[in-house]
Amino acid sequence: MPINVRIVAALCFMAPVAWTQAPRAGPLVLLLPASTRATGLGDAFVALRDDAAIFYNPALINPTTNGLYGTFVRYASNGTMGVLSNAVAVGTLNLGWGVEVLEFKARGDAAYPFAPMDVVRAGSRDALSLAAAVGANTTVKGFKAGVGMKYAEDRVDGLLGASGVTPPLRKGVLLGDAGLSHPFMSGTAALAVQNMGDDSRIPLPIQTTLGWTRGLNTSQLDFVFAAEVSERNNWMGGGGGAEVGYGWIEGWSAALRAGLRRTETSAQRPLSVGGTLNADHLALDYALEFFEHSGYAHHLSLRWR
């Protein structure tokens, strides 16, 4: 087995057996996959160029389409998320922006900051989590270097219960991201530090991620391998995945992918799967994410080129 494939395989299956939960952090939308393709690859996306790179690594913002990239996510029957992003080249700079909005029902007994599993657990309190990001990158001595800023916020309605009144909550924060990428071992290696900011009002998911991807093309099939490891407040995460694609005529192709990751909580399942259909100017991505008690999330993205 080639060494690069062994590296991907090792990182794909690096999730520890001990399912220690990640430290609580927020806003919640920052803990959820922002890209359908990333979801299918175990959310190992720090080293991939894509329309949603603004949410993973500003160094890889890349104007891959002439239109918007949109994602719709349905978390069981309890939550809905929408994502929009785009990028444009201006001289030597690549500029990108993106918006994520999550609506769900929070349980009255759910502790704040919320965890990803709270999105699929039916509740009674209207909750909103959102993030708006901008970023840019350029090439410096062979490295792609990027920076980004975003505003993220959680809002939760109050609740009148048998134990008294739970007041409404609103917490917002301004955050910064930074990233690098460089060709490595016939692929791309990347490093990103995300969600840097003032954590005096809310514990932030300040995270450092190192990843690598590689594409392999044959006469019949196209392969993509992706893997990453991350650290957040002494909690180690990471994951990886593989994708295989086939094109039968110019502009028309399909791909299947699967990934594994170490999840934030034991209520999430490590496996995710997905696929893509490219039909001339239209690209359709789908991914399926699993939770405990047969919970699930459907991810659907559209790109027009």
DSSP-derived letter for residue 167 is P
Instruction: Identify the pLDDT of residue 158.
Output: 83
pLDDT of residue 68: 74
pLDDT at 161: 60
pLDDT at 159: 72
Q: Tell me what pLDDT residue 108 has.
A: 85
CATH architecture of 3-304: Beta Barrel (2.40)
**What residue segments make up the domains of the chain, in order of their start?**
3-304
Asked whether the bond before 58 is cis by omega within 30 degrees of 0, the reply is no
> Measured between alpha carbons, how far is 89 from 51 in angstroms, rounded to an integer?
13
Cα angle at 82 between 78 and 83, to 5 degrees? 145
Q: How far is 63 from 300, CA to CA, in rounded Å?
A: 20
Alpha-carbon distance 143 to 301, whole Å?
A: 30
- Altogether, the residues listed in the chain come to a count of 305
The 3 state secondary structure assigned to 46-70 is CCCCECCHHHCCHHHECCCCCCCEE
**DSSP strand pairing (93-106 vs 79-90):** antiparallel
Q: In whole angstroms, what is the distance from residue 270 CA to residue 115 CA? A: 16
Largest CA distance in the chain: 67
Task: Write out the two tokens for 233.
Answer: 């407040």
Q: Is the pTM of this model over 0.85?
A: yes
Low-confidence spans in the chain with pLDDT less than 70: 1-19, 65-67, 160-165
Closest CA to 37 of 261, 282, 257, 290: 257
User: What CA dihedral angle connects 288, 292, 294 and 296, to 10 degrees?
Assistant: -30
Q: Rounded to an integer, what distance in angstroms lies between the CA atom of residue 246 and that of residue 255?
A: 6
